Structure 1
């Protein structure tokens, strides 16, 4: 399989920079093996069956984008330089992060992010660095909430800067466990009225946690996609969640993850026969055509970037040719793409 097999033309004006309002008013493309229908997310209670089990990722996005200054002594006096930092994941002593400009930083320097937070450069690698902050635990969380911004994906950040509205828009209504630096974006379409309507329909929900990392936006750099290596992300499926998924499967009910993150986690946790097991740890599962799905009966997801691992995942679920048809329909129909865009419901 070649990277070019997963390419398509996308007009830039279809990249959404703001979400639909209300959330559930976004468009929804519903597709199975033979049909495509144009609906709204708010139609889900009429589309899904009583007993369907939606798997929801309850990770919470942290305001991981920071702007600070470093001060260095020069012959002309102290000089301050602007530094942009994106936190990636906690490390044994601090946080792994990306920084711009990385090449100008030195180990031991201090970066100040306003009066609330500062960090020492503990280590510098080829693509990132490790920061040791002056606050920990709840004090660090409070400071980060004061000075941080939501880490919008590069394709949005290149078109506009994050603002206060993104603190609500780029967070799911059921977000619980802090740790993600990217949102499980299919879940952004749900609001309280929609959840109530789904529950009244008899649709059930189960929560799992996968802390989405910035690696989800990294491009595939190899031509042979089977040689690509995924970034690792931390996730958890509790005993209760595993039991509820197993009970639904035993009763013949459909398991439909909301978002590729929830799908990757349950496929990682499932045994070869589809039995769901409790899971806690990291997963770097890479799903591309040829993957045998152990527990997934469908997927609600947004529309993904050309040549991305997420496009490969949906191609594995529906078939490459079918996804080409679905995406051609979406482009022709002016669906909005990527994190703040419209959604699809893919049923197998």
Structure 2
């Protein structure tokens, strides 16, 4: 399946391309860039209404914007969690007051969000969360206590949506609530960056020690957090998947060029693997288009995650193989203050080791496919 772009879609693509060419700068401060996007109306294109400072685009226009953005020199987005995860969840489950309070700042690029789901002892098993939220005696606030981990952009975020247990003694998916927690509570919230193999810190551990959240900032009602959390996960993979594949295609091109430079392209086994990576990438695009077109089952987001995470991880491995010994980091590249400097393909290999874990591990995705799409018996829970 391929989308048919109309003349209006092509005009929209030209507008997006021209605007990005005039404004995108990879070196620009990411928070400033979010405000620039918001001022021009490029945040919230996929929202069903335009009453929050955003403009609405058709599905094909959203695809065009995502693809043009991926091809541009624009910096990585800091606001995508608020735009693509929180906002659709509020639109589906939030009160009118919650929408009026939180959606306009997201559309303007003024408030950034992070996601408080995973925990050190629960991982991808969201029903096992232990973070607790207890009402204060006055009844206007909760006190949130617990730990979240692998929290992207927590060091930049103004707010965090937190899955917490509001019913003492409850187990699994019962007694959970979806809370909106302000991050500017230095005595009650600590953000600890997690240093990765790449030398960077893209993820964080977040410690909540009595952090306050207003009662009216519970989304979907107290004790109904599981339903809201599962709804949010359904928004996690959409148009952005196609933009992600533009970046994947660029990385594949870098690996092919490395194989040509090193001469390893003459190895028939490696050459076959390069062709296979290209064919699989095309298949992922068709699968993403089929999913966006509405002809997909309940397990489609999990299938997409399994496809791209495994593909990207294998690409990282292939990137090292085509370069041979030259891919290694030697003693001359190391110092106590800066352990090593990585080039793009070395970074690709090390970062992609986490692809099959973050965003829901492969094991969790297979369980979802088995239980929700294939109707197989549910996995026993301890």
TM value normalised by structure 1 = 0.24
The structure where strand makes up a greater share of residues is: 1
For CA contacts below 8 A with separation 6 or more, give which structure has more relative contact order.
1
The structure where helix makes up a greater share of residues is: 2
